Structure 1
Amino acid sequence: MQSVVSQVREAAGDMSAGIKLYGTAVQGAMESAGTLTVGDGSSANGGRAAGLVAVALGQFAEGTEADLAFLPLRASNSANGAVEATNAYITGNLEQAWNAQRQAMLAPDVTALLQAARDRAAQR
């Protein structure tokens, strides 16, 4: 059991690392995309520089942010739930095992996780 759980946790860690690399790559692509000046280019007249590709990449990243955060969190919750349920079965506490399994099956709420990440990023 412990071997399987450690493999799941390792895979979740790799997933998190891949997601960070994805974020870095998207950010780099957004910064490297060309710009298009809207208006006469002066900030006094409301002109601003915005790359169409950068805007599209930013909107895509924003739209998939919750899905990306969900994946490693779900894997972690599932592994933790399996450990808790197994330990409860070993001690003979079937109700506690059932509760651990039920909790592990619930979809994690990524809202708080994303807000904490935004808060940390804003402090930098």
Structure 2
Amino acid sequence: MTGWDIAPAGVQSVISQVREAADGMSAGIRLYGASVQGAMESAGTLAFGAEGAGGGGRATGLVGVALGQFVEGTETDVAFLPLRASNSANGAIEATNAYLAGSLEQAWNAQRQATLAPDVTAFLEAARRRAGER
């Protein structure tokens, strides 16, 4: 740990770039969600006899079902990217602050924590709860 030589201005510059990229990633993910939703709604439906259009719920065709399954199957991967970027940036900030305060052990712990994979499952569950409250 005695070999550390952190340049706070350099860390701040990199964090700024990471946050800018993460903002772009988040905007892309929102656009992806809206686009998939629009595609699902525009894909058409299958209706047999009296079922479908007048049933009160929205009928979904095969393409819409496939798109929904694709989104469901990839949501963990999509959520992982911005969480990893955020955890890495926050870890770098915490480690730098601890380093500047002279606590190399705390800096090392912050750096180690930042390398751990984020808990995407907990994040998605919390997001679903927040969405349900709206």
Q: What TM bracket, shorter-length normalisation?
A: 0.7 to 0.9
Counterpart residue number, 1:98: 108
Match of 1:81 among 77, 82, 91: 91
CA contact (8 A) 1:85 1:98 kept: yes
**CA shift at 1:9, angstroms?**
1.1
Q: TM (normalized to structure 2)?
A: 0.80
Return the alpha-carbon distance in structure 2 between the equivalents of residues 12 and 3 of structure 1.
14
Identity over aligned residues, as a percent?
76
Q: Which amino acid aligns with 1:63?
A: G
Q: Which has the higher helix share?
A: 1
Counterpart residue number, 1:71: 81
Structure 2 residue matching 1:36: 3-state secondary structure: coil
**CA shift at 1:49, angstroms?**
3.8
Residues matched between the structures, number: 119
Counterpart residue number, 1:52: 62
Segments of 5+ residues of structure 2 without an aligned counterpart are 1-10, 53-57
Asked whether 1:35 is paired with 2:25, we answer no
RMSD of aligned alpha carbons = 1.8
Return the alpha-carbon distance in structure 1 between the equivalents of residues 103 and 127 of structure 2.
37
Return the alpha-carbon distance in structure 2 between the equivalents of residues 92 and 123 of structure 1.
44
CA contact (8 A) 1:88 1:97 kept: yes
Render the CA deviation track for 1:74-120: whole Å, top value 9, x for unaligned. 10110111111122222321111110111000000012221122122
Match of 1:4 among 2, 6, 14: 14
Structure 2 residue matching 1:92: 3-state secondary structure: coil
CA contact (8 A) 1:81 1:103 kept: yes
CA contact (8 A) 1:84 1:97 kept: yes
Name which of structure 1's ranges 5-14 and 71-80 shifts more when overlaid on structure 2. 5-14
CA contact (8 A) 1:33 1:51 kept: yes
Q: Which amino acid aligns with 2:51?
A: S
